[in-house]
Structure 1
Amino acid sequence: MSDKKRGFPKFLKIVLLLMLVGGIVVGYLGYQAFLGSSVTKNEPYLYVHTGDSYADVLKQLEEKNIVTNVQFFDYVAKAMDYPSAVKPGKYKLTEGLSNRRLIGNLRGGYQEAVKFRFENIRLKENFAALLGKNFEADSVSFLNILQNNAVAESYGFTEANFFSMFIPNTYEIYWNTSPDKIVARFHDEYNTFWNTERKEKAAALNLTPQEVSVLASIVKGEALHRDEMPKIAGLYLNRLKRGILLQADPTVIFANNDFSIRRVLNKHLTIDNPYNTYRFKGLPPGPIMLPSIAAIDAVLNYAKHDYIYMCAKDDFSGYHNFAVTQAEHLVNARKFQRALDARNIKK
């Protein structure tokens, strides 16, 4: 029988079969490497720090078990020229995402912005710590800016009232944004917040926006309930207009730097500190906490009345009894003092 009639030699069939199987395997591996499910559910985000190399990224992927096969990732990354295009940022990790998609996001710098919200911040140190927790820069870097008089003056503030520039709200900022640019972003929000209407209301009170914020911080410190803020604001504005000491307990607590105080005593009132409004007339030099938007608007839209005294109610509801005369106030104060004694609250 001739060779033509015999067909392909057996060894050639085996070679062709092996090539076919090999092609299938290579195709499968290629598919898995590029398009197959790669990202695990172990981490919600991948943080690429400023200055990180490709080796740093690869190490993090391996140590945190972020992808199912680091070798596959490495192969695809090199094929897509990612090692020379590493960009810092906070990148969202979705379970099942392919290497091709993940690397495309990393290479393009398509990071997810941090939704940063803050309120009820008492001190600059607390704010710096929160910023350091949410962004790449550490808390020390942020605190250095918050306590920098030159920076404060560049924005039209003093070091004491600079804290009032930060309006509590929700901000979308990229994780690796530098501290100075983050502060600039807050300044933009401040300018937006203090629109013409708010500025005109502040001027009608003979107060600057910074002074409104300082007073609002005291109102925030006094009020446990938002609906009482305008009434409290009206009381302090009455005192300012009449040249009466504000005598606000939250400022005394701030001046003593002891936030465990529950009962302000005579010994607390003697401290020689410009934030002690029992000794120093007018507003303190800066806010005693970050005022909320509600507190600022409560000052700008204060309740008009004749009250100049207030004392916490003896039912500990968080509301206050208000008085026009000192005699009325002393009655309210004695009720509250008896309530404190009954609960054995001595300090």
Structure 2
Amino acid sequence: MTVLVATLAFGFYYWAGQPIMKKDGEAIGFTIEAGSGVRGATEQVAAAGVPVQPLLLEALVRLGGKSGKIKAGAYELEPGATPRRLVEQLVRGEFAQHALVVIEGWTFRQMRQAIAENAALKHDTVNMSDEELLAKVTPDYRQPEGLFFPDTYLFAKGASDLQIYRRAHALMQKKLEESWTGRAPGLPYKTPYEALIMASIVEKETGQKSERDLIAGVFVNRLRQGMMLQTDPTVIYGMGERFRGNIRKRDLQTDTPYNTYTRAGLPPTPIALPGTAALAAALNPARTDALYFVARGDGTSHFSGSLTEHNQAVNKYQR
């Protein structure tokens, strides 16, 4: 009898250390519902397609003294994982991690589209207007543009998309507050929100990180002197769906709240989601005499302190 018990015990613990699935297989996702208990949890694992005997898995949990420690949530069992590793996941709450990437310079519309297309999220906001969604996130603003930080967000499968919006907004507020606290003196912004607007313009004006502080310096100089910002990205944003990839002279002359060729000062809201570098540039711009810049065609810009020099650069690089 003793030999039989020892043999069974050896077989059980051997089983607990063997891969449940082949290492070249695919991960299997499953969800443990709240309040399931050990037996309910192991049955849910098996019902999701994990090739494991629920009673054996339950025995492994109980023999390990881990009854009552299984955490509800969404999981993924990786190929090659053993029953012992599976129990460890359940007890530690190692939930399945999915990622959503929000890109610097995206508009809020692009962010909403990426979230709506992510199949791992629970889409609680899909039928909400922008204003309704924003009200669920913060009562402090009326327009959502620029209020969400571009980053990579990890989440458990089935998490509400509202979690992403709330985390992205909280992170943007944190980054903006930090940048505002460390801002250069004498900037022409009355509020952190105005700095956020400038950061969004800087984000859209150049993909060259090394030029962002110079771009910001030009715009700060223009604001200080009461000059029009005259920046194409704001015009494009104001055109909305009318923009077809090419900005024309009549577009620059058509007034909208975002046309910085027809209206002085900053536009009413940000025009994109700025990242860390753009925030830093807007709040610590380069000290420069430049009032103009023009693209060279190689991804960099030529900066000028006078209209005459600027016109010469335009003739050289764009005509």
Q: TM-score, normalised by structure 1?
A: 0.71
Check if 1:229 corresponds to 2:209. no
Deviation at 1:138, TM superposition (A): 4.3
Cα pair 1:202 1:209 within 8 Å, conserved: no
Change in CA separation of 1:172 and 1:277 when aligned onto 2, cut-off 3 Å: same
Tell me by how many angstroms 1:86 deviates. Answer: 7.1
Partner of residue 40, structure 1: 22
C-alpha displacement of 1:38: 1.2
**Aligned match of 2:311:** 330
Aligned to 2:135: 150
The one-character-per-residue Cα deviations of 1:131-150 (angstroms, maximum 9, x if unpaired) are 45668434562784854342
Partner of 1:87: 72
* Alignment-mate amino acid for residue 256 of structure 1: M
Query: How much has 1:153 moved relative to structure 2?
Result: 4.7
Partner SS for 1:227: helix
- Please name the residue that 1:75 is paired with: 55
Counterpart AA for 2:86: L
**Partner SS, residue 305 of structure 1:** coil
Tell me whether 1:303 sits opposite 2:291 in the alignment.
no
Query: Which residue matches 1:110?
Result: 94
Q: Give unpaired runs (5+ residues) of structure 1.
A: 1-15, 62-66, 339-347
Partners of 1:45 and 1:121 lie apart in 2 by 35
1:304-333 superposed Cα distances (whole Å, 9 cap, x missing partner) = 2232222111xx111122233333323322
Q: Which amino acid in 1 is paired with 2:316? A: K
Root-mean-square deviation (CA, aligned residues, Å) is 3.8
1:286 positional shift: 2.0
Of residues 89, 92, 96 in structure 1, which corresponds to 2:80? 96
Cα distance 1:58–1:125, how it changes in 2: closer, same or farther (>3 A)? farther
Structure 1 residues 337 and 121 mapped into 2: Cα distance closer, same or farther (>3 Å)?
closer
Whole-angstrom distance in 1 between the partners of 2:254 and 2:136: 30
Q: Percent identity?
A: 26
8 A contact 2:31–2:75 mirrored in 1: yes
AA aligned opposite 2:73 = P
TM-score by length of 2: 0.76
Query: Size of the alignment, in residue pairs?
Result: 305
Distance change in 2, residues 1:196/1:144 (3 Å): same
Q: 1:294 to 1:253 in 2, by over 3 A?
A: same
More helix per residue: 1
User: What do residues 279-323 of structure 1 show as CA deviations (whole Å, max 9, x unaligned)?
Assistant: 22221222222112111111111122232222111xx11112223
Is contact 2:197–2:266 with CA below 8 Å preserved after alignment?
yes
Q: Separation in 1 of the partners of 2:304 and 2:33?
A: 58
Q: Which amino acid aligns with 2:277?
A: A
Q: Deviations over 1:23-79 (max 9, x none)?
A: 788556634543322143323563538789866643432xxxxx5xx2x33232444
Shift of 1:173: 4.7
For the residue of structure 2 that corresponds to 1:40, the secondary structure is coil
Q: Give the 3-state SS of the residue equivalent to 1:89 in structure 2.
A: strand
CA–CA distance in 2 between the matches of 1:256 and 1:336? 26
Report which of the two structures shows the higher radius of gyration computed on alpha carbons: 1
Alpha-carbon offset, residue 204 of structure 1: 3.6
The one of 190, 197, 201 equivalent to 1:218 is: 201
Cα separation, 1, equivalents of 2:126 and 2:184:
30
- Other-structure match for 1:186: 168
Structure 1: distance between partners of 2:118 and 2:291:
42
- Residue 11 of structure 1 aligns with which residue? none
